[in-house]
Every structure is written in structure tokens, then in C-alpha cells.
A and B are shown apart, each in its own frame.
Chain A
Amino acid sequence: MAEIAIRKLNKSFGETQILDQIDLTVRDGEFMTLVGPSGCGKSTLLRIIAGLESQTNGQINISGQPVDQLRPKDRNLSMVFQSYALYPHLTVKENIATPIRMRSYRWYQRLPLLAQLLPGAAERQAGIDSKVAAVAELLQIEHLLDRRPGELSGGQRQRVALGRAMVRDPAAFLMDEPLSNLDAKLRVHMRTEIAQLHKQLGTTFIYVTHDQAEAMTMSDRIALMMDGKLLQVATPEEIYRNPVDVRVAEFIGSPKINLLPGEVNHAGRVVVCGCPLRVATQPGQTHIRVGVRPENATVCRVEQGDIQGQLIYLENMGAEFFAHITIDTLAEPMLVRCDVEQGQQLVLGATVGIRIKPKHTLVFDQQGRRVASEKVAAEVHHESATA
């Protein structure tokens, strides 16, 4: 149980700045996901929190106590690694027991042979055994306790790694891409399991991933990092609907958001490919980008659409279709979601209209920052011919 507060944290290797002024507070019991493309510094940040690497400057507090001078083992955190990092020469049981043995035993109580002769040895062993058994039961790995990591499948190793992290009630769990070595199906399954585990334990989790789907499905809040900077910290809902930066909008969401180059006319209307949309923002901006998620646009007849284009490909996902529509002046086709009935009626090569939901349209300025926009009232739409 702990709040983890990171203040003005910097990390650089020589000239290269890996982390740039990171400020982040992880609340007690929160599932916080650090997400970003590979090389954005998220794993480095996690290792600095764990004490495995040192920051160039800045401060980390755990439960209000500064931990910058503490060694990893004194920070009372536990960590799950991408490669599981189980001790290959120990059995599953010994692997899980290791953190308690190393922490709660004095060195002479860990000596081989002699340790068993010391007073209280049997009770200590029984204490460990019962803790290991409880963890094994929770993770359903009781039948694996006597095997070695080499004899386990990826998913089983992952559970053992979780067990080793859980066994001693740490202040927080740090997880470094724990699912990325698993196959797709198991990954989706383990996502749910880890999320449930978080609910059961109620401990603070910091979870690092490059997979936005993991971040969206598991977290209480997401911290999105890029190029060593923290771009946005928000709930999955908020970060999806209200990204503060075009890079956030691009990174979150699958399939990717459509980004259309545009401009703002003198009346403050957003214009894409020469067609004014029903979206208004601050006038006087050129070179804006308009973000439209595939589900916030619909395919319609040409005369009803805000813009028009040619349908070049239909992606059938089973429960929905994604229409790829090329628009004359744009390099990339625009992706629009349609439901099954509509998707089946669409004809490849046809010219179709695209109607964009103004309420969910995101406008970004030249620097990629989000700017406020609003829906233009319906009556203005009819007068727009003059605009």
C-alpha cells in the first residue's frame, strides 16, 4: 500500500536525454500504466522507481518517504520482468520462496545444512511453506511447485514470476511488459487475470507496456510517454476521447485515428480538402490537423457527406466493417467504421460521402497541440456555401 510520487525526474546517458522532467503521482492502490512506443523511456522510468538505475536528478517518494538513496531491496517493491527472470536452477517453490528467505532470514539462517539445526528453523520453514502455498493456490500453480522454470510453458512461467512478486506483500508491484512474450490468445487472457489480481490485492500497480490495448483495458489511469516526456496522464476513457496531443491521439486507439490536414477559415470553420466541416474553432490558423476516429464518421450518399472519396477496400471484421476511402488530395485513405448491414451493401470503387460527427472531431494545431473546437449549429451549416 503506497503512493508513489515522482518529482522533476531527469535521466540522461551522456548527451542523450532519456527522461525529461517527469512529474507523476501514482495514487495508493491505483493501476497505473506507463505506455509509449519502444525507446520512449518507460522501462527506464520503471527501473529508476525500483532503484535498479539511478536518476540524474529529481526525486521519488514512496508513501511520503524519499527513497532515492535506498537500494532496490530496501524500497519494498516487487517487480515482474518481460523475460520472467526466474532463477533457472531453483524449483518453482524455491523461486517463490526466495524473496521471503532473503528478506526475513539473517545470513546464518540461510546457510545450507547448518540452518536446519538452528532453533526455530522448523517454524520458519513452515511459515514460508504456508505463504508459498497460499500464493500458489491463488495463481493455480500448486501442481507445478516441484518443477524447474525450464520445464514450464511461457504462461506458467509468467504465473510463477507473479507469485514470486506477490509472496511478500510489497508496497507496490512494478511490471515491465510482463505479457509481451506470450502468444496473442494467452496475452488477452492474462490481461484479465492481472487486472483481477489487482482488484483482489488492492496494491499499487505500475505497469509498463507498449501495447495500447493492454493499457486501455487494464488501467485505472494511463501515463502516455513519448521521447522521454510525459504527454498525458488520464483515465483510459479520457485519454481516448480527449487526447491533448496529436501523438497521443495517434498512439491510442486501434485502428488508428484518421488525421486530415486542414485549415480554419475567417469565420472559424474547419475546412478539410476544401470542404467546410460542421466544426468551429479559433479563426486564423493554417495547417491544422483534424483527428477523426473511424467510429466517429459514417459512410453516406455523396450529397449528404461532409467530404467525398472513393471506396477502395472493405475490411470485414465480422461484427463490423472498416471502409478505406481515398480522398483526392490526401495521401492516405481514410478509415470509416460501418455496421454489418451497411458494409454488405457497399460497392468497391464507388464514390461515397463521409459524414463526420462534429462533436467528436479533434482539432490539433501546427505543433500538434489540441485546440478547443465545437459543433457548429445546424442552421449555420446551410449558409456555409458562402464561407
Chain B
Amino acid sequence: MNRRPSLLFRLFRHLVLMSGAMIMLMPFIWMLLTSLKPPDEIFTSELTLWPQHWYFVENYTEALTRIPLMKFLLNGIVVTVTIFLCQVSIAVPVAYALAKLRFKGKKTLFAAVLFCLLIPPQAVSIPWYLLMYQFGWLDSYMALIAPFSISVFGIFLMRQFFMTVPNDLIYAARIDGFSELAIVWKVMLPTAMPALVSFGIFSIVAHWNDYFWPLIVLNSPDYYTPPLGLVNFRNDDTGNDYGPLMAAATIVITPLVGAFLLAQKRFIEGITFSGMK
């Protein structure tokens, strides 16, 4: 049926794709290379890709010592992991109920979920700030976690996945003696692993990189998340210190890149095949 395209076309196709990939990757590569350069090379007028003098040790030591970067990373892990666990523990049962149980007001409830998807997070940030203030949670982990503990997107994503799980599987579980909660956690969740992994990546990336909300609710550097920590290198009186800044940025994104590579296979499955059994 399909003839194999000619060599020329295949070469062309790969060139186009590769140049696209290069454009996407360029900022990352630039960040990596800058983190290896001494200050005078960073500020030269001509563009040099490869550093002439390696400044790796100096930049990275500076990044790790000038600010308590390890503490910020730890804060980031505590916050993102707690947010993710909260989101899962709420989204999965809710999604199960919306997808598989029969009750009055189900359609209205799902419409409400869809409606919440449309609300931009910035629009509710002031009410949330006031709420956090009322609770006395400002400048704490609670302020970082509470507003994100329910993910409407997570509910929606899991609900769509659960819709594809055949009813017979739930019937079988009920006959076998699973309680409804056991069905949620022991039958539905394991079948929904691909969807859960993709949701996990979305959630963790979003909250790891979040700059806006932590900036609003935090004062003391004790609770700083990594993106806030990075700012220390910019606001210094000495001016911008790009070498250590880029080194710190590299350190901050490393866990994400690592997690993505580990989950990559399942992540892509989750996006493209989540509708198929």
C-alpha cells in the first residue's frame, strides 16, 4: 500500500524535525553552557557556544552555598509530593463516583467540575490569600499546599479514564466482596496507572515550577520553593550573577527531567491511549 518515501524526502523530513527540536532545546543548552562559563565569558560581546575556561566547580559551589538550595529543593519536594497525594486521594474517589455511580445531581456536579476548569488560578488568588490569612496559615507549608489540594483537572482526567473501564469489572469486584472504597483503590486505581502517571507529571511540574503563588504567600526563606530561591541570584546588589544562577536553575530542573524520563513511556501512553482499553 504505502510506498517507502524517497531518501531525499526522509532526509528533509528529519532535518525539519531536528531543527524544530534544536529551537526547543536551545534555551536549555544555553542554560547548561552558561552554568559552565566564567563571568567574563558570559558577558563577552561575541557569542561563543563552548566555554574556553571551565568554570563548572566555581559556579555550582556558588549556587549551592550562596543560598540554602538543598533546603529549597527539600521544600519543593515536600510541597509538590503532598499536593499530589492530596489531589489523588480526592480526585480518584470523586472521579469514580462521577464515572460509575448513579446518584441524583450527578450531571450537575460534573458540569460544576467542568466549570471550575475554566477558572484561571490568578482570578481566585486574592480570595485564597484572604482565606489563608483568616486561617493564619500565611508563610507556612499549609499556605503552599491547601489551595491546590483539590485538582479539578485531576478529577476530570481520572473521570474520563474511568469511563472507559467496563462496568463488568466493577460488578465482578462487588460480587467478589470488595467494598466501594476497596474498588476505588484496589481495582480502579491500578487499572488507571497510565492516567495517574500523566496527571502526576502535570501536577508535579506545575507546582514545582510555580512562582506566582509562593511569592505571594511566603515571607521567610525557610519555606522557599526552588523557583523563589533562584531569584536570590538576581536581586543581589552586585547585579545579575548568571553563572551561579544558571547552575542553580540546572540543579532545580534536574529532578523533573529525571522523573519525566523515568515515567516517559507511561506518560505518553497515558495521553494517547487513555481512551483505549
Contacts and interface: CB of A to CB of B under 8 A. Distances in A.
B60 to A, nearest CB: 40
Nearest to B102: A53
Interface string A133-169: 0000000000000000000000000000000100000
6 contacts: A47-B171, A73-B174, A73-B175, A84-B168, A99-B176, A164-B172
Top 8 A-B residue pairs of the complex, sorted by shortest distance between their CB atoms: A102-B177, A89-B190, A85-B168, A85-B172, A81-B168, A73-B177, A99-B176, A72-B174
Nearest to A50: B175
Interface in B141-196: 166, 168-169, 171-178, 182, 187, 190-191, 193
B168 A82 contact: yes
A52 interface: yes
Given A83-B166, A87-B187, A89-B191, A164 B171 contact: no
A79 interface: yes
Interface of B: 166, 168-169, 171-178, 182, 187, 190-191, 193
Contacts of B190: 87-89
Contacts of A83: 166, 168-169
Nearest to B165: A88
Interface of A: 47, 50-52, 71-73, 77-79, 81-89, 98-99, 102-103, 164, 176
Contact of A79 (B166, B175, B191, B193): B175
Contacts of A102: 176-178, 182
B175 A78 contact: yes
B176 A81 contact: no
A99 B191 contact: no
A193 B200 CA distance: 46
A347 B169 CA distance: 56
Given A50-B175, A73-B177, A87-B191, 11 more contacts: A50-B171, A52-B171, A72-B171, A73-B175, A73-B178, A79-B175, A83-B166, A85-B169, A89-B190, A89-B193, A99-B176
Query: Which of B169, B176, B178 is most buried by chain A, counting CB atoms within 10 A of its CB?
Result: B176
A88 B277 CA distance: 10
B166 A85 contact: yes
Contacts of A71: 174
B265 to A, nearest CB: 16
B169 A72 contact: no
A85 B166 CA distance: 8
A179 to B, nearest CB: 15
A82 B172 CA distance: 11
B176 A77 contact: no
Contacts of A85: 166, 168-169, 171-172
Contacts of A81: 168, 171-172
A204 to B, nearest CB: 15
Nearest to A176: B168
A73 B60 CA distance: 61
Contacts of A73: 174-178
A52 B176 contact: no
Query: Which of B166, B173, B177 is most buried by chain A, counting CB atoms within 10 A of its CB?
Result: B177
